[in-house]
Amino acid sequence: MTWFISPANAQDAATPAPAVPAAPTETHTEVGHEAGGKAVFPPFDTQKYPSQILWYVIFFGLLYLLMKRVLVPRLSTIVEGRASRIAGDLEEAQRLRVESDKALGTYEKALADARASAHSIAQASTDAAKADAAKKRADIEGSLAAKLETAEARIGEIKAKALGDVNAIAEETAAAVVAALSGQQPSQDEVAKAVSAVAAK
């Protein structure tokens, strides 16, 4: 269908069509043209250039309007939406990074405070343990000193008693020896003096 009619086309349309010859009895494999000429490919026919250019302009204008009114606004909306989404994501990432930095700082401060508190508690416990150990040591040393004094006193008593018993035994033995040798019983005072003199040496 031709929408644009050139003068050559109008002249062709006004010329009556030639009579169709009777169908030949033989079948030809090639289609002949009048006067042996060759048919021109329609897009390359110079007589149809004006109509083709007109339709090119119409379709180009329609395509331009479609791009300008429909496709470009949609693409702009999509690009702006993605840009705003990316900007929002970047702001959210920046906010989360700041919050994580604050949380990290708070954690490090709490950890340092906990270490300092643990150190002070350990130092206080060590000092308390040392003081308690010193007090217990002083109590034990005092108790041992008291027991030692009691033991020394007891030993002194036992020693004095033992020495007293030894003197008595020595006096009896000496009196018996003198009586056996001399045949006379010495007096108790003489024997005590003699034993005391020997013990003093």
- 3 versus 118: the higher-pLDDT residue is 118
Per-residue pLDDT tens digits for 22-55? 444 444 444 444 445 577 787 788 888 888 899 9
Q: Is there a contact between 49 and 6 (Cβ–Cβ < 8 Å)?
A: no
Name the average pLDDT for the chain: 79
Query: How far from the centroid of its chain's Cα atoms is residue 126's Cα?
Result: 33
The torsion region of residue 41 among left (phi > 0), alpha (psi -120 to 50) and beta comes to beta
